[in-house]
Structure 1
Amino acid sequence: MNNSELGRVQAFLLKHRIAETKAARRNISREEREVATILRDADPQMRTLLEEILDGQGLVLQSFREFDVAGIPAGAMTFVLARKPDTNPPFFGTERLISRMKQLGRYKVSDTEIKIWFTQLWFVLLDLLYTKKNRSPGAMQDWVDTAFNRLVFTDAVKNYINDSVLKMDPASLKTTAIYDALTSTKEGTITQLCSAFLEIMQDASLLERLEEDVYRQSLLFAFEMKMNYDRQLVPLLPALLPFDAASAVLIEEVEEVAHGNNH
């Protein structure tokens, strides 16, 4: 890998965040295959240089072979570009999110309300991928078994609103911003929001589309979750009942955000 190839690889990874020499369940472009091959065959010095450049931008380049994790075809190599915990790489912002969700017909709301919806949809997705499957956030091997369809996700979101949010007493909340955003949206718009969310997750390489309306967690998504879990949550959890402890930590964090204490 020469300097020109290094620049090409970096540009591709910043845009797509994943490069595979061969994939089991999706078609890969010639460019992706070439970029992954350049990385695979790069001499250690150039590979280290690229990793140092990306590290300075808040990113981690991680490679996987068939023996490292499930889902990698024999003889293949997969590279993912993950965000480091507690960093905010300038390349990944909220503009795409806000722009896409504002394209939903008559759904005219503020940027803040869109971010509220995105956060709540993210929590429901995590619930489907981890809680419902009794998976630890530190688990990676079973990422290939996380398939779900669009209808299941949409129903989970609507059930969350009906079974949890609507049963809250608004008078007991310090702020009703989240409650108002979730309860004032019509059912048809919720379906559109869910579809847009899944589309954005696929564009970000966090979800893979297996077939029409069927998705699963990507290896990149699983790796980022594991990094965040290992570096941020594990030190806070007691040895016993890690799932209960993790839930308590997350609830406290969400309450702080909702109450405006976490900036």
Structure 2
Amino acid sequence: MNMMEMGEVVAYLLRYRTAERVPSGGRKRRAAREGQLSERDVCALIDDAQENEREALRDFLAGQGLRLKAFESGDYPGIAPGSRFFALLPDPELEQPPLYTREAVFEALKLRQESRAELALWYLQLWLLLHTLIYTRLNRALSDVSRYQEATFVTRELVELVRDQLETLRGLGDRAPENSRVLLDERGEDIPRRVKAFIDLLVRAGHLEAVREAADEDVWQQTLLGALEAEQIGVNHLTHLIELTSSEPSDRPFEGAGRELAAEAPERDTDVGSRDADANGAEESETRAADMFDQPSEEANGSTTENAEENRR
């Protein structure tokens, strides 16, 4: 892998966040397009990388607060036999870049002339309520990555949860957190429109995907990438939005549904491993990618319950 190819690999991963030797779920392999390698070529370049190339790629990604992890078919459900799943993840040992720039959130959720603080609060509430559906409702910890295929919902469920949350806030009256009261100014179809925009953001980020239709509604499922990222960094990537929602340190943007998730989110995960490469013949090329990147956590290898308790905060 020369420097130009490395740049193309990084550009691909920044766009899609994942690459698979054999795409799962019936997805077609991503073809090459102008200025971008095909998914097949990206996987081949990563698999065949030499030690100095691996080191250079690690350093390049670390400068952006990122790391590339490789998972085999036995590590998590949904990875096809003989495949390898590459995921570009924030590195919890490094300073966390925001998952989204503020502008992307503002542009997606804005309906009228809301302030940035209001839009940030809308995003945080939607994020917490979504995680109520895909974690709290399933009695699932952030460390239960292997259960990501169970984490399904339809848009209507998230809309109804938002409405229930707003009714709870109204019922509190003057006892409701002051910075949350702006959420009560919704009108007409505001809630479905914001929920749709929020889901679209997470689909673009590779955290949700439509898996089927039920009663003319899309059924959304958390992706393996989304589950891995939730395990690794919790709510830490939302700091740049949380800061906008309050001027006083005592304000609590996480008031209401989702507080348990905010409380258990890991501050930093320092579990970083490496895999020994076999130096012989055909097995060497198969182990290079795994040798280059971090191993999956113990939870992926069958220690789900123990690891879930260990990772709770």
TM-score norm. by structure 1 comes to 0.79
For residue 136 of structure 1, give the secondary structure of its aligned residue in structure 2: coil
Q: 1:146 to 1:47 in 2, by over 3 A?
A: same
For residue 64 of structure 1, report the CA deviation from its aligned partner: 1.0
Letter in 1 for 2:96: N
Q: Which runs of 5+ in 1 are unaligned?
A: 232-245, 252-263
For residue 249 of structure 1, report the CA deviation from its aligned partner: 6.6
Q: Residues 31-69 of structure 1, C-alpha deviation per residue, up to 9 Å, x if partnerless?
A: 223212321232343123212211121112111111111
Q: Does 1:178 align with 2:191?
A: no
Q: Residues 92-124 of structure 1, C-alpha deviation per residue, up to 9 Å, x if partnerless?
A: 41211211223x4xx331122111100000000
What is the aligned partner in structure 1 of residue 52 from structure 2?
45
Cα distance in 1 for residues equivalent to 2:185 and 2:8: 46
For residue 172 of structure 2, give the secondary structure of its aligned residue in structure 1: coil
1:21·1:34 contact (CA, 8 Å) conserved in 2?
Answer: no
From 226, 241, 247, give the equivalent of 2:260: 247
What is the aligned partner in structure 1 of residue 107 from structure 2?
99
Q: CA RMSD in A?
A: 2.3
1:36·1:78 contact (CA, 8 Å) conserved in 2?
Answer: no
Q: Residues 156-215 of structure 1, C-alpha deviation per residue, up to 9 Å, x if partnerless?
A: 2212222x2222232x35x622222x1111251110000000000000111122235221
From 88, 112, 121, give the equivalent of 1:116: 121
Cα distance in 2 for residues equivalent to 1:36 and 1:157: 40
Letter in 2 for 1:93: T
Q: How many percent identity over aligned positions?
A: 29
Mapping of 1:132-171 within 5 angstroms?
Answer: 132-162=137-167, 164-170=168-174
Cα distance in 2 for residues equivalent to 1:39 and 1:156: 42
Bigger relative contact order (CA 8 A; separation at least 6): 2
For residue 10 of structure 1, report the CA deviation from its aligned partner: 0.7
Cα distance in 2 for residues equivalent to 1:68 and 1:177: 43
Q: Which runs of 5+ in 2 are unaligned?
A: 32-37, 237-258, 265-313
For residue 123 of structure 1, give the secondary structure of its aligned residue in structure 2: helix
What is the aligned partner in structure 2 of residue 78 from structure 1?
85
What is the aligned partner in structure 2 of residue 257 from structure 1?
none
For residue 91 of structure 1, report the CA deviation from its aligned partner: 7.8
Cα distance in 1 for residues equivalent to 2:156 and 2:126: 14
What is the aligned partner in structure 1 of residue 18 from structure 2?
18
Q: Residues 12-38 of structure 1, C-alpha deviation per residue, up to 9 Å, x if partnerless?
A: 112221112222223331222321232
Q: Does 1:63 align with 2:76?
A: no
